[in-house]
A and B are shown apart, each in its own frame.
Chain A
Amino acid sequence: MSEKHAANRREDLRLITGRGRYSSDNNLPGQLHASFLRCDCAHAEIVAIDTAPALKRPGVVAVFTGEDAIAAGYKNFPNLMTFTNKAGAGILQPERPVLAHGRVRFVGETVAMVVAESAAIAQDAVADIRVEYRDLPTVVDAEDALKPAAPLLHTSVPGNLTLEWDTGDAAAVAQAFKQAAHVTKLKVVSPRVVPSPMEPRAALISYEAASGCYDVYTNSQGIGMLRWQISALTGVPEDKLRLHLHDVGGSFGQRSAVYPEHGALMIASKKLGRPIKWVATRSECFLSDSHGRGIVMGGELALDRDGKFLAARYDFVVDMGAYLTTTGPASHVRNPAICTTGVYKIPALYANFRVALTNTAPIAAYRGAGRPDIAYVIERLVDQAACELKIDRAELRRRNFIPLDAFPYKTPTLGTYEASDFNGCLTKALKAADWDGFPQRREAARKRGKLRGIGLSTVIEGTAAGFQPKDQIAIEFDADGRLEVFTVALSQGQGHETTFAQIVADTLGIAAESVTLRQSVHGKNIVGNHTGGSRSLVGAGSVCKIAAQKLIEQARPLAAEALELEPSQVDYANGAYRSRDGAKSIDLLELAKQHAGASPHPLNLIAEASVAATFPNGCHIAEVEIDPETGVSEIAAYTACDDCGTVINHAIVEGQMHGGVAMGAGQVFGEQTVYDKSSGQLLSGSFSDYAMPRAGWVRDIHMNDHPLISKVNVLGAKGVGESGCTASLSTLVTAALDAVRPLGIEHLDMPLTASRMWQMIQQAQQPQQAKAK
């Protein structure tokens, strides 16, 4: 590992010394504090709200309800989904006032907001509010919600179906299935998870009457996306919204969408003329943060007698919760539709998506956002087919990989893959994981009383597409002539300050310390994507390089002038312009300093590019050991071989992979979002009830890479932030399934909690024990 690929990120120093600035660290003079009353029933009409007892409490300034939300004249939550159904109709976007009006539709929905002199008083006063509800029937399961007699959430959404969208060629698929020698069918679930970044949601909003502007301090994935959403929701023009975004304590898609609390705080600040601060408790986060996943997937794979794939068909039921978030539908329909063929040549494909509403918290993007889900169903199908046909799992994959000479490969649905070497990745991973030596390890485990299995996945994902037509980067020189780089992208832990500064510095041939990155700064008139969908390195990072190259050319005439030469007579290298004979030279940064104070600085520039989607891919292999006495699973080994194109910073890429795999392990082995079927109550509403991955769940990852440099961006990079999640779900589940198959267990669904595994193993062993007797 070279020096620049070491850790010690630029952002680390402030974060390890307690000098980070997260949302709840913001305060403004004269601020008031808000607390929300969240409904405790899943589906009900609001008959009456009595706020008088709360208003009587000393220190309470005001209480806001749905009446105020309606009176504010706000519009509705925006949506990025552009797909239409067969009749050409777009997605049905139900109305959602920022404080519930008339009806509540999930436990935790905002019903009222108390504003008080302290957070404690506001919380106390919330308990004073009396609400009379008339309960309505509840549906918390997406498949149930689509049944004819299901309780209806919104009259504007018949059958709770916001959109049915399909892709591919149904007739060709039907024909292929008829001719198939073998058909593998299964139905799997990607269960609902609560993203749970460690920093709870928070916002501080201040209205300035003179200008009509709102100052918004909150956690976000980037300035443009959130500002657009707040504007779309409230009708306040974007130029009246001043967003102040600083350190963000993780996100994983959870902060991709605007929240009703943003709108409610704006109403309060405008009415009361004071800044209003709100910090969510973790309990509120569980109830009202956007959740992730929540997809039921039916899959069918048709094979010929040689094990070649002929066709695949998918039926997705996508749970969106009680309302649509900005990013939920696009994440869970568009993203999986891009990669329905996985890494395989499947001539005929068809996928149908039904996007349903339920009496649960709304769902948005969550690390991978549909990509892990489609990869999961494909890999489960391939594994199942291999098992049914008694073909080696790796061999069946090899027979069906899209070959190297077939790229760019246009899939029968939405995707066009860039070049990838699936067999290369697989071969390297099998060797690194000592696949052939597994029988000995299984036998050794058996002697210890453990069930050991091995699983592998070969996956691809479409990342970095973004929602904006282009990404822009500004390079500016401050009053002292120091180089600053401005991005729309905003790190939530990805380390942009290190990586992007490194790209600019390497391109210019100067020290990374000479470059300072400023992210999502209000007042910078640049457009670009927020940080999400593994986009930022590929998009903003690429433009950092382009911007640095542009700077070299923009400064050349000034350098020539300073050296008393023609621009054509100076060469640039290692941070300096030099005369051909080497006699005269001037450093770029020295040149910038000489012009410091000029307004604008003559070297300031904006660079831009439209950067297409990338297709990171790889092969992951895991070994899982299960204790049949307790049902507890352990990841005994994990090997990854990934193609993420050019790696800019190895430490950061490895960290992304660690985190992604651990999130996958969380979903596979522990995280379980449980809504009670009859009451709609959230039964897993705290870290005591919801099993987050802890130290030791993933002990080590044996990382390998097999990069094919991306041709769609100047860095050659492929967006890697979600790859760990995409590959790990199927890898870990198939490893566990391999461990218990000898007992006759042929199907597993996440999460593989100890109690679930123990029960399945007990049930499987009973007939065997009976036979033995």
Chain B
Amino acid sequence: MTKIELTVNGTRHAREVEDRTLLVDLLRDHLGLTGTHVGCDTSQCGCCTVHLDGRAVKSCTMLAAQADGASIVTIEGMAKGDKLHPVQQAFTDCHALQCGFCTPGMIMATAALLKDNPNPTDEEIYHGLEGNLCRCTGYINIVKAVKQAAQTMK
């Protein structure tokens, strides 16, 4: 067992978990933050993307223990009260989600992409979202949403 302390969406948590516990399992099963999803077991789909110390990471691909001391933001921490994050707003405005299962990961990946590159070209968006799969939308509206979010965040 491993003792972990970390901040999630601004709240400090201390937990004792099995050594092999993945960060995504800590978030979902121990902290009840089920907005972060698991869509694969090969780090391909990106449904589990969260921010760790400001960087997008796939939370199924790191141990909870590796996040000891870190500050995590999940999809539940993106809106400020009733005010949606600009990326969240853009996803609903552009119909960039259908079933919604990939959406939390897409939103987290997009927010990190725009932090690194506030004005991405289409090619840079395709490249930036390569680690996130969506089966419903065909990505056309997701790319639109990334562009809208980039505009509003300027």
Which of B76, B91, B98, B103 sits near A655, CB closer than 8 Å?
B98
Q: Which residue of B lies closest to A651 (CB)?
A: B95
- Stretch from A14-22, A323-331, A575-583 that touches the partner: A14-22
Contacting pair B34 A198 (CB below 8 A): no
Q: Does B135 contact A (CB under 8 A)?
A: yes
How far is B34's CA from A112's CA once the two chains are assembled, in angstroms?
Answer: 29
Bound-complex Cα distance A688 to B104 (A): 21
In the complex the two chains form, is B138's CB within 8 Å of A12's CB? no
Within the complex, what minimum Cβ distance (angstroms) separates A57 from chain B?
Answer: 15
B-contacting 9-mer, from A368-376, A391-399, A491-499: A491-499
Which of A17, A250, A696, A701 touches B98 (beta carbons < 8 Å)? A250
Q: How distant is the Cα of A651 from the Cα of B37 in the complex, in angstroms?
A: 26
B139–A120 touching, CB < 8 Å? no
Distance in angstroms between the alpha carbons of A688 and B131 in the assembled complex: 11
- Chain B residues closer than 8 Å to A252, beta-carbon distance: 135
A140 CB, min distance to chain B CBs, angstroms: 23
Please state if B129 and A654 are interface contacts (CB–CB under 8 Å). no
Q: A182 CB to closest chain B CB, in angstroms?
A: 38
A residues near B100, Cβ cutoff 8 Å: 11-12, 15-16, 20, 247, 249, 493
A553 within 8 A of B: no
Q: In the assembled complex, how far is the CB of residue A104 from the closest CB belonging to chain B, in whole angstroms?
A: 23
> With a CB–CB cut-off of 8 A, which chain A residues contact B93?
7-8
User: B135 to A696, Cβ gap below 8 A?
Assistant: no
CA gap between A358 and B140 in the complex, in Å: 37
Contact in complex: A687, B40 (CB < 8 Å): yes
**Number of B positions contacting A (CB below 8 A):** 55
In the bound complex, residues from chain B placing their C-beta under 8 Å from that of A7 are 92-95
User: Which of B39, B84, B137 contacts A199 (CB under 8 A)?
Assistant: B39
Alpha-carbon separation in the docked complex, A692 to B139 (Å): 12
Chain B, range 32-47, C-beta contacts under 8 Å to A:
33-42, 44-45, 47
CA distance A19 to B134 in the complex (A): 19
* B99 and A17 form a contact (CB under 8 A): no
Cβ A198 vs Cβ B102 within 8 A: yes
Residue of A17, A196, A695 with most partner-chain B CB within 10 A: A695
- Chain A residue with the shortest CB-CB distance to B130: A694
Is the beta-carbon distance between B44 and A688 smaller than 8 angstroms? yes
**Which residues of A from 469 to 509 have beta carbons under 8 Å from B?**
492-495
Q: Does any Cβ of B come within 8 Å of A282's Cβ?
A: yes
Select from chain B the residue with minimum beta-carbon distance to A688. B42
Is A167 interfacial (CB 8 A cutoff)?
Answer: no
Docked-complex contact A687 and B141, CB < 8 angstroms: no
**A698 contacts the other chain (Cβ, under 8 Å)?**
yes
What is the CA–CA distance of A654 and B99 in the complex, to the nearest angstrom?
15
Report the Cα distance A295→B50, complex, angstroms: 41
Q: Is A768 positioned at the interface, with any CB of B under 8 Å from its CB?
A: no
A170-178, A657-665, A740-748 - interface stretch? A657-665
Q: With A and B bound together, what is the CA distance between A25 and B38 in angstroms?
A: 11
CB neighbours of B138 from chain A (8 A): 658-663, 665, 693, 697-698, 701
- Bound-state CA distance A281–B25 (Å) is 13
Return 15 A-B CB contacts under 8 Å, by A number. A19-B76, A22-B101, A198-B39, A198-B136, A249-B100, A250-B136, A492-B99, A665-B138, A686-B40, A694-B129, A695-B125, A696-B125, A697-B138, A697-B139, A701-B140
Given pairs A16-B91, A493-B100, 9 additional interface contacts (CB within 8 A): A12-B92, A17-B79, A18-B33, A120-B18, A198-B102, A200-B38, A247-B101, A693-B138, A695-B143
The 3 closest A-B pairs by CB, nearest first: A18-B35, A662-B138, A249-B101
